[in-house]
Amino acid sequence: MISSMKTYTDYLFMNTKKPKEIVNITSEVEAIVEKSAVKEGMVLVSAMHITAAIFVNDEESGIKQDFLEWAEKLAPFNINYHHHQTGETNGDAHLKSILFHHQVMVPITKGKLDFGPWQQVFYGEFDGQRKKRIVVKVMGE
């Protein structure tokens, strides 16, 4: 029996309450996977903005705060960033997004996200309080 691969694309829209925030988007990604009807495959979750990130980690308030504090130490706001010579003032947000990556691939098994213990999908915002988009592309059978 030859099966054919399906693809399904949907978008999530984010507009965070804070300029820098980490948001659990696992349930939204799960809903898109369910709509896709893919039982075995992969889902790509990708931030479509260069000052945002997508990553997998633990849903725990302390670690999310640690992430934000760690990113601030590694890439603090600095008016002297070369990027700011273009008229922008979000050079630190670009650097922070690199620390977390802009996309993840998660396996799908039996129609569900196939995570290890505690794993969840997160959106990291580093230049927020405006509408941004995430693409969710499901591929499989």
Name residue, tokens 């309450």: 17
- Domain spans of the chain, in order of start: 6-76+88-140
How far is residue 43's CA from residue 47's CA, in Å, rounded to a whole number? 13
Q: What is the pLDDT along the chain (141 residues), one digit of tens a residue?
A: 666 899 999 999 999 999 999 999 999 999 999 999 999 999 999 999 999 999 999 999 999 999 999 999 999 999 999 998 999 999 999 999 999 999 999 999 999 999 999 999 999 999 999 999 999 999 999
pTM, 2 dp: 0.93
CATH topology for the 6-76+88-140 domain: Jelly Rolls (2.60.120)
In angstroms, the CA 56 to CA 123 distance is 9
